[in-house]
Amino acid sequence: MIALDLLPYFLLIVFSALVSGFVAMRTYQSRRKVARAASFTTMALCGSLWMLLTALNTLNIDLAWKEVLWWLIPFALLSTLIGLFFFTLEFSLRLKQIPKVILYSTVVTTLVIVALSVTNYFHHLMWTVSEVNGRYFQVMGKLFLVQLAYTYLLTFSSLILLIRAFLLSKGILRRQTGLLLVGILIPVLVSLITEVFGWEPLPNIDLSAVSIVFTVVFFGFATLRFNVFYLLPVASDMIIKNIPEGILVTDGDGLVIFSNPAVQKMIGKGETQINGHPVMKVLAGWLPEALQVWNEGKADVQLVSGEEHPQFFHLTNSPLAGNANESIGHLFMLRNNTEQMNYENRLHELAIRDSLTGSYNRGFFFEMANLYFNQMLRASKPLSVLFIDLDHFKRINDTYGHLMGDMVLQKVAGVCRSLVRTPDIFSRYGGEEFVLVMPETALQHALLVAERLRAAIESLKDKVEGIPVTASIGVVETTGETGLTLDILLNRADEAMYSSKNAGRNRITAWKND
């Protein structure tokens, strides 16, 4: 039974327990929409249980039942504080799950304290029993200080985590963090007033148990009414962890303190192989060229990985500054821009290629030919030009049709491209005319190349449905004469080509100064 003078306190504690249970139920129902609902629900439910057990402890019942309550109350109290600690830990550090070492250590410590309470009958180190006016009370023993220290450790750890989150947050997130701070400060202050300073304005009631309802209500209000408090950090987590750009964050010493899944996939290493390691080692293990942004202080570099199927990456390095503009670390962003580079390369190819034959077009030919020509003149090195014209091409078009004529042009261009060097510029000059510029190539070698091309073109007959295909080729080499230009060189190659035509076609002629 309960004494009448304790009835108001009993009802107050029960009411607080019901409020805590209601908030826990609402949070659990909204768990799919509310982040970190599991740890909060654990805190609220265990807090409700703690309050109910405290209410039952006010009843005048047998000592045996009292001791059962004294076993259960520490378990409910510590479970409440563990839920609070896990909640603040998840929030302040943006954790998806509690680290195993923290989880196991808190669970084991709680079980040890509960075990000491259950076995108190044998050692009386947690409490002894005192009887006053027929009512039983606990007198705290030596080992009870362990439980007290552990409760303060959990409480103040939660407080410190929220203070840290408050200092690091801004705007609405900071206001919401402040709301949580108020919620946790109330039971902290009540506990300090009653247990440290010994002031008990309501001596017949456990104010610590009642005060936890304020934490539950404040936290629940922020959770259910201002879910933006959760959505902002959750959205930040989702954005950072799900964006296609890779992110590396280092401290002032160059150690990686954060890496998102995108950068782990690009670099090909797991989180444990990146986080905690020097960024120089991480970048060098991926692509040595990436070290330029660190060693040379570059803001960004364009990187290429692989040869057969190259991947293109853009790596940027942005310094991070603290409140006093001091350097506190670096933010690296790695973007795979292979698709963009391939698209740009494709556009470039379309701009410089002839749409029918796939050879370089006339515009790109003059751009590169002028570049090569000026380079060869400055270096006093030879440069040769071949002018190629298909014989009787009009007859092919008239006899076999323009579609067949187009196929002939494509076959001729394809076989010629397969026989020239990478630096050489093979271009469709116009109609059935092609031109080849060969840097660092003397006349004698150019004539050998011309003969290979002529023979290859003549051998195409079987690949174009028996249509005879031949070409007349003119060859010219740069000389050391004053006033020589690319246009003059092309005119000479053209004259040599017409000499091949006049000599009977399907042959090669080198230009000579008559």
- Residues 399-409: what's their mean pLDDT? 93
- Reply yes or no on whether the pLDDT at 215 is more than 80: no
422/177: higher pLDDT? 422
Which has the minimum average pLDDT: 63-77, 105-119, 355-369, 431-445?
Answer: 63-77
Dig out the tokens for 264 from the structure: 């782990």
**pLDDT of res. 490:** 95
- Residue 153 in contact with residue 185, Cβ under 8 Å? no
Residue 78 to residue 113: CA distance in whole angstroms: 9
Give all strands (DSSP E) within 339-411, no chain letters.
Answer: 383-390
- Reply yes or no on whether the pLDDT at 498 is more than 70: yes
**pLDDT of res. 382:** 93
What confidence tens digit (pLDDT) does each residue in 151-177 have?
889 988 988 988 888 887 665 567 777
What confidence tens digit (pLDDT) does each residue in 245-274 have?
888 888 888 888 888 888 888 888 888 888
**pLDDT of res. 48:** 80
What is the CATH number that goes with domain 353-510?
3.30.70.270
- Residues 314-324: what's their mean pLDDT? 79
* 243-342, CATH topology level: Beta-Lactamase (3.30.450)
- Reply yes or no on whether the pLDDT at 120 is more than 90: no
**pLDDT of res. 7:** 66
- Reply yes or no on whether the pLDDT at 277 is more than 80: yes
Specify the domain boundaries for CATH 1.20.1070.10 within the chain. 4-235
**pLDDT of res. 231:** 46
**pLDDT of res. 238:** 61
Which has the minimum average pLDDT: 88-92, 105-109, 338-342, 393-397?
Answer: 338-342
What confidence tens digit (pLDDT) does each residue in 296-316 have?
777 788 888 777 778 888 888
DSSP states of 275-289: TTSBHHHHHHHH-GG
DSSP 420: S
Q: How confident is the model at residue 346 (pLDDT cuts 50, 70, 90)?
A: confident
Dig out the tokens for 286 from the structure: 């991926």
Q: How confident is the model at residue 491 (pLDDT cuts 50, 70, 90)?
A: very high
Q: Is the dihedral of CA 247, 251, 256, 258 positive or negative?
A: negative
Dig out the tokens for 5 from the structure: 């003078």
- Residues 82-104: what's their mean pLDDT? 81
- Reply yes or no on whether the pLDDT at 80 is more than 60: yes
- Residues 183-199: what's their mean pLDDT? 72
β-bridge mates for residue 439, sequence order: 383
- Residues 139-147: what's their mean pLDDT? 84
**pLDDT of res. 230:** 46
Catalytic, 296? Answer no
Residue 454 to residue 436: CA distance in whole angstroms: 13
Specify the domain boundaries for CATH 3.30.70.270 within the chain. 353-510
- For all residues of the chain together, what is the average pLDDT? 82
- Reply yes or no on whether the pLDDT at 204 is more than 80: no
- Reply yes or no on whether the pLDDT at 197 is more than 70: no
- Residue 74 in contact with residue 29, Cβ under 8 Å? no
Residue type, 468: P
**pLDDT of res. 232:** 47
Per DSSP, the three-state class of 483 is coil
What percent of the chain has pLDDT above 70? 83
Q: How confident is the model at residue 206 (pLDDT cuts 50, 70, 90)?
A: low
DSSP states of 227-295: THHHHHHHHHHHHHHHSSSEEEEEETTSBEEEE-HHHHHHHT--HHHHTTSBHHHHHHHH-GGGGHHHH
What pTM was estimated for this model as a whole? 0.45
**pLDDT of res. 228:** 42
* 4-235, CATH topology level: Rhopdopsin 7-helix transmembrane proteins (1.20.1070)
Q: How confident is the model at residue 290 (pLDDT cuts 50, 70, 90)?
A: confident
- Residue 389 in contact with residue 507, Cβ under 8 Å? no
What percent of the chain has pLDDT above 90? 26
Annotated catalytic residue, options 67, 90, 432, 477: 432
Cβ contacts of 27 within 8 Å, gap of 6 or more? 34, 37, 40, 41, 44, 220, 223, 224
Residue 162 to residue 229: CA distance in whole angstroms: 13
- Reply yes or no on whether the pLDDT at 178 is more than 50: yes
